[in-house]
Amino acid sequence: MDPRAPKGTMDILPPESARRRRVVEAALSLFGAYGYREIETPIFEHTEVFARGIGEGTDIVQKEMFTFVDKGGRSLTLRPEATAGVARAFVQHRLDTSGLPVKLYYHGPMFRHERPQAGRFRQFSQLGVELMGSASPGSDAEVIALCAEFFAGLGVKVDLVMNSVGDAECRPAYVEALKGYLEQNLDGLCEDCRRRARANPLRVLDCKAPKCSGVVKGAPELGEYLCEACRSHREAVEGLLEAAGVSFRRDGRLVRGLDYYTRTVFEFQDPELGGQNALAAGGRYDHLVEELGGKPTPAVGFSIGLDRVMLAGPETGEEADGGVYVVAIGDEARPKAFALAQKLRKAGIRADLDHMGRSAKAQMREADREGFRLVAIVGEEELEGGFVTLRDLESGSQERVNEDALVEEAAGRLRGAAWGAG
RNA sequence: GUGGGGGUAGCUCAGCCGGCAGAGCACCGGGUUGUGGCCCCGGAGGCCGCGGGUUCGAAUCCCGUCCCUCACCCCA
């Protein structure tokens, strides 16, 4: 038996699990404050949902999906991202019939069969929102502002980069123009980009190889090709962000790898992270719902990569110390210690006690290590006298407290600690 | 899928010109008949990733393999 977790997956242990939970809770409560409600969709879907939704030609669909056949012969796939599944649920449950827009958030694991590296795993965790049913620039601005606020709240410094990839009206013409330009300048491109020129011409714009910079500089710009509707949409979104004080950088070379994006695309990048610097990304997808069999429904959303955010060092605050550790001295005192711990727990106070048969000294050490504020000592004297010795680990002072008054006394002291009154 | 680096105690790593498996931290116990942190003393803990080869002898050299890691591709 090999006890190692599968490649690209990981166990999240304390105390990291607690830090993560605080980040998730901060995000979910923020989503709620913006009027979003939670949706849970299956971890796996019919393969077709992703193939059609994300795009047959994308890398995700072509080589990164965990696909399997079930006993009924159906092809299923572990979700590589959440938006396609949410859009599918939107169609299935006719969510458009109960008033638009529909504002949903989700969080959970996603799966892509890729070679793991820093900030990239085969099972990874995303949090995101989808605002469905509105084509208004205000909805783009809302989700972007929401995401910006999420990072600000955690003290994570990010750069917001935005672009417009046009729509069905104007993008094809641009791609043709770009392709033509690249074909004529193949000599000035790196090896990878010569291949990309055909397969994924937009990607060439984002190449970091020095050799390509000259050609990239002279390339036709997507911005020039935007139709009037896309251009004014972009300006409206940018205007709203400026008015709201959300700073961003427009980058005509920002290209996203999912086919469903239209018009607005954006990324929140951490300039200090290595290769995987996109902490969150999203955009508008006005044709996805239709593609999955629903009525034409414009929508916009984003997804936050939780694992990457954790790498960026979010400020989550400290784990609150406190509570009462009940120390039993001598085996005769253990039943009483157990009963007292239960009383404290039932009163909502964090309480614990030794299960290892350890000495008083070792129990004290355990209390200290586990961050307890108070220790309630039960020994021979205490048993006889019906009291406990309550010790404050911070101040080092201790006193006798009547056994029946322990819960009340401990609650009072812990509350005082929370106020910082010592 | 491609390329670089690496797998030795729970963690971080030293040992690698072949010759008894080590340190720091963490853990457990003692120093106090019943009192934490600092300090002192002691203890436990290893298929040296796995398989094969060379050798009197391999953590050390060679081959294979798996895994981790960083980067590319792509992406959160």
Alpha carbons within 13 A on the beta-carbon side of A95:
21
Considering chain A, what is the average pLDDT of its residues? 89
What value, to the nearest 5°, has the Cα angle with vertex A212 and ends A207 and A216?
80
Residues 6+ apart with CB under 8 A from A279: A151, A156, A158, A268, A269, A270, A273, A304, A305, A308, A309, A312
- What distance in Å separates the CA atoms of residue A363 and residue A377, rounded to the nearest whole number? 10
More confident of the two residues A192 and A25: A25
DSSP symbol at A315: -
Residues 6+ apart with CB under 8 A from A207: A189, A190, A192, A193, A196, A216
Instruction: Tell if A136 CB is < 7 Å from nucleic strand B.
Output: no
Residue A317 covered by a domain: no
Compute CA A360 distance to the chain's CA centroid, rounded to the nearest angstrom. 43
Instruction: Tell if A15 CB is < 7 Å from nucleic strand B.
Output: no
Domain check: are A237 and A144 in the same one? yes
Q: What is the pLDDT of residue A207?
A: 66
Q: How many domains does chain A have?
A: 3
d(CA A121, C1' B53) / Å: 36
Reported confidence tier of residue A348, pLDDT bands at 50, 70, 90:
very high
Nucleotide nearest to A8 (CA to C1'): B68
Sign of CA dihedral A56, A127, A261, A163: negative
List, for residues A387-415, the tens digit of each pLDDT value: 999 999 989 999 999 999 999 999 999 88
Could you list the residue range(s) of the whole structural domain that residue A43 is in? 16-166+227-311
Domain check: are A363 and A395 in the same one? yes
Q: Is the pLDDT of residue A177 over 90?
A: no
d(CA A373, C1' B47) / Å: 44
Rounded to two decimals, what is the model's pTM?
0.89
- What distance in Å separates the CA atoms of residue A137 and residue A143, rounded to the nearest whole number? 10
Instruction: Tell if A115 CB is < 7 Å from nucleic strand B.
Output: yes
d(CA A8, C1' B54) / Å: 36
Chain B bases closer than 7 angstroms to a protein Cβ: 1-3, 27-32, 34-37, 67-76
- What distance in Å separates the CA atoms of residue A259 and residue A50, rounded to the nearest whole number? 11
Alpha carbons within 13 A on the beta-carbon side of A176:
5
Using alpha carbons, select from A87, A137, A131, A129 the residue that is nearest to residue A295. Answer: A87
CATH number of the domain at A402, please.
3.40.50.800
List, for residues A157-176, the tens digit of each pLDDT value: 999 999 999 988 888 888 88
List, for residues A44-70, the tens digit of each pLDDT value: 999 999 998 888 777 788 788 999 899
Nucleotide nearest to A278 (CA to C1'): B76
Q: Which of residues 142 to 201 on A have a Cβ less than 7 angstroms from any strand B atom? A: 192, 196, 200
Domain check: are A47 and A125 in the same one? yes
List, for residues A198-230, the tens digit of each pLDDT value: 767 777 776 666 667 777 778 888 888 899 999
Q: Which of residues 304 to 333 on A have a Cβ less than 7 angstroms from any strand B atom? A: 304-305, 307-308, 329-330
What is the ipTM, given to two decimal places?
0.83
- What distance in Å separates the CA atoms of residue A403 and residue A377, rounded to the nearest whole number? 11
Report the share of chain A in percent with pLDDT over 70.
95
Domain check: are A146 and A21 in the same one? yes
- What distance in Å separates the CA atoms of residue A398 and residue A158, rounded to the nearest whole number? 48
And the tokens for A160? 């917001």
Q: Residue ranges of the alpha helices (H) in A129-190?
A: 137-154, 171-184
Q: Is the pLDDT of residue A276 over 70?
A: yes
Compute the average pLDDT of residues A341-370: 94
Residue A287 covered by a domain: yes
Q: Is the pLDDT of residue A194 over 90?
A: no
Domain check: are A236 and A376 in the same one? no
Domain check: are A155 and A208 in the same one? no
Instruction: Tell if A120 CB is < 7 Å from nucleic strand B.
Output: yes
Domain check: are A349 and A233 in the same one? no
Q: What is the pLDDT of residue A420?
A: 41
Residue A3 covered by a domain: no
d(CA A46, C1' B38) / Å: 61
Compute the average pLDDT of residues A318-336: 88
Domain boundary among A278, A311, A344: A311
Domain check: are A43 and A101 in the same one? yes
Report the share of chain A in percent with pLDDT over 90.
63
List the single range of A259-263, A359-363, A401-405 with lowest mean pLDDT.
Answer: A259-263
Q: What is the pLDDT of residue A418?
A: 53
Q: What is the 3-state secondary structure (H, E, C) of A5-38?
A: CCCCCCCCCCCHHHHHHHHHHHHHHHHHHCCCEE
d(CA A219, C1' B47) / Å: 60
Residue A7 covered by a domain: no
Instruction: Tell if A403 CB is < 7 Å from nucleic strand B.
Output: no
